[in-house]
C-alpha cells in the first residue's frame, strides 16, 4: 500500500529519504501544482503554522520558492538573512536559532555554508528542519524538483540515463541528484574536467566521463551545473573561455546529436560559460519548468512535515 506519511520529521538530505517518501512528495506535489495553477492559489493547510526561513548564504530561487510555497499554504512566515543579523556581533548558530524559536516557530528552512548545519540544528531543537542547501553537501529540495521535472517529461525514471555536467566537486545539487535519481532507478553519469570531479565518485555507482559529446550521446537528460567560483580557492582550469570551449554546451553541439536531449540547469545560469543562451532558451530546455515545480515540491514537503506535527 502506498505510504501516506513521511518516514522522517526533517528533510535533511535525500540520503535519509526512502523511495516511498520521494514518491509521496511527488504525488502531493502533483496536487499542489494543480492548486497553484488555479485562479485562487491559496489553501489553508498551514494556518497557525509559523515557518522561519534562515538564509546564511545568498539565494534567489530557493528563498523565493520556499516563501511563496509557505504563503500559498497560509503559513505565517518570518525571514532571516545573515548579512543583516546579529551573527556579525558574534552570536552562534544555535543561539540565533533558539532565539528565533522562542518566538514560537514550528518549522525552519535553513541554507548555510557549513555542511551538516541543518543536521546539527535537528539534534538540538524541536522544530521541523528543511535543508535548503548546506555547503557542498546536499540540496534535497532541488534534487526533488529536478527529478519531478524529469518525470513529467520522460515518465518513470527507471533505467533513464541522466548526465550531470560541470563543477561536480563543489556541488550539493550533484550529490542530492545522484542519491535521488539512483533511488528512482535511473542511471547517472557525471562529466567535467578531471579537476572538478571528486576522485572516488565512481564508488557512488555513477559513470565518470570527461568528454561532453560522449556524455551527451549517452544521456536522455543533461543537467548542467554552474562553475562555483565562490567556493574555489585554487584554479581548477585555465580560464572560463577555455572551460566554455571544452565543457560548455552550445546549440551546434546539441544539433549534431542523433537524439533530442532534455536540458536542465538548477540556476543561477552563467550564460556563455557552461551553457549558451540559445541552449538555455531552446525548446529542449525545461529550466523554467524546474522553477515552477520547485514551488509545488516545497509546498508538498511543508504540508507533509506539518501533517506529522499534528500526530
Give the binding range for ligand CP (CB under 6 A) out of 57-65, 216-224, 251-259, 281-289: 57-65
Compute the distance between CA of residue 168 and CA of residue 291 in angstroms, rounded to an integer.
Answer: 21
Site string for ligand CP, 86-125 (x = CB under 6 A): ----------------------------------------
Task: Tell the smallest beta-carbon distance from residue 60 to ligand CP (Å).
Answer: 4
CB 140 within 8 A of CB 14: yes
- Write each residue from 185 to 204 as x if it is in contact with ligand CP (CB under 6 A), else as -, in one continuous string: --------------------
Please name which of 165, 253, 157 lies closest in space to residue 207, comparing C-alpha atoms: 165
Return the closest-CA partner of residue 32 out of 77, 89, 74, 83.
74
Out of 88, 89, 104, 123, pick the active-site residue. 89
Phi and psi torsions of 57, nearest 5°: -140, 155
Which backbone phi and psi does 163 adopt, to 5 degrees?
-110, 135
- State yes or no: residue 268 binds ligand CP (CB under 6 A): yes
Q: Which is nearer to ligand CP, 60 or 245 (CB)?
A: 60
Q: How big is the site for ligand CP, counted in residues (CB under 6 A)?
A: 9
Instruction: Report the distance separating Cα 240 and Cα 7, nearest Å.
Output: 43
Q: Which of 118, 192, 193, 266: binder of ligand CP (CB under 6 A)?
A: 266
Other C-beta atoms within 10 Å of 115: how many? 15
Q: Confirm whether 62 is a catalytic residue.
A: yes
Active site residues: 61-62, 89, 111, 139
Residues that bind ligand CP (CB under 6 A): 59-62, 133, 142, 266-268
Amino acid at each position: 500500500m502506498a505510504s501516506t506519511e513521511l518516514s522522517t520529521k526533517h528533510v535533511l538530505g535525500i540520503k535519509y529519504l526512502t523511495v516511498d517518501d520521494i514518491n509521496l512528495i511527488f504525488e502531493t506535489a502533483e496536487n499542489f501544482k494543480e492548486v497553484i495553477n488555479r485562479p485562487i492559489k491559496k489553501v489553508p493547510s498551514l494556518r497557525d503554522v509559523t515557518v522561519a526561513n534562515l538564509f546564511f548564504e545568498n539565494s534567489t530561487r530557493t528563498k523565493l520558492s520556499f516563501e511563496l510555497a509557505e504563503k500559498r499554504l497560509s503559513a505565517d512566515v518570518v525571514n532571516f538573512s545573515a548579512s543583516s543579523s546579529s551573527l556579525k556581533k558574534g552570536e552562534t548558530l544555535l543561539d540565533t536559532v533558539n532565539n528565533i524559536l522562542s518566538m514560537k516557530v514550528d518549522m525552519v528552512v535553513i541554507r548555510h555554508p557549513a555542511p551538516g548545519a541543518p543536521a546539527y540544528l535537528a539534534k538540538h531543537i524541536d522544530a521541523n528542519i528543511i535543508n535548503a542547501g548546506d555547503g557542498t553537501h546536499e540540496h534535497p529540495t532541488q534534487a526533488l524538483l529536478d527529478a519531478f521535472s524529469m518525470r513529467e517529461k520522460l515518465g518513470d525514471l527507471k533505467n533513464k540515463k541522466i548526465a550531470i555536467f560541470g563543477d561536480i566537486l563543489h556541488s550539493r545539487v550533484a550529490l542530492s541528484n545522484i542519491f535521488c535519481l539512483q533511488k528512482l532507478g535511473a542511471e547517472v553519469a557525471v562529466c567535467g574536467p578531471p579537476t572538478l570531479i571528486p576522485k572516488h565518485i565512481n564508488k557512488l555507482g555513477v559513470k565518470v566521463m570527461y568528454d561532453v559529446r560522449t556524455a551527451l550521446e549517452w544521456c536522455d537528460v543533461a543537467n548542467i551545473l554552474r562553475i562555483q567560483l565562490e567556493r574555489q580557492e585554487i584554479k581548477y582550469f585555465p580560464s572560463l573561455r577555455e572551460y566554455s570551449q571544452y565543457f560548455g554546451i552550445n546549440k551546434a553541439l546539441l544539433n549534431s546529436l542523433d537524439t533530442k536531449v532534455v536540458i536542465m540547469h538548477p540556476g543561477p545560469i552563467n550564460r556563455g560559460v557552461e551553457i549558451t543562451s540559445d541552449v538555455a532558451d531552446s525548446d529542449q530546455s525545461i529550466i523554467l519548468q524546474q522553477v515552477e515545480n520547485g514551488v509545488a515540491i516545497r509546498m508538498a514537503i511543508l504540508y507533509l512535515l506539518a501533517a506529522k506535527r499534528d500526530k
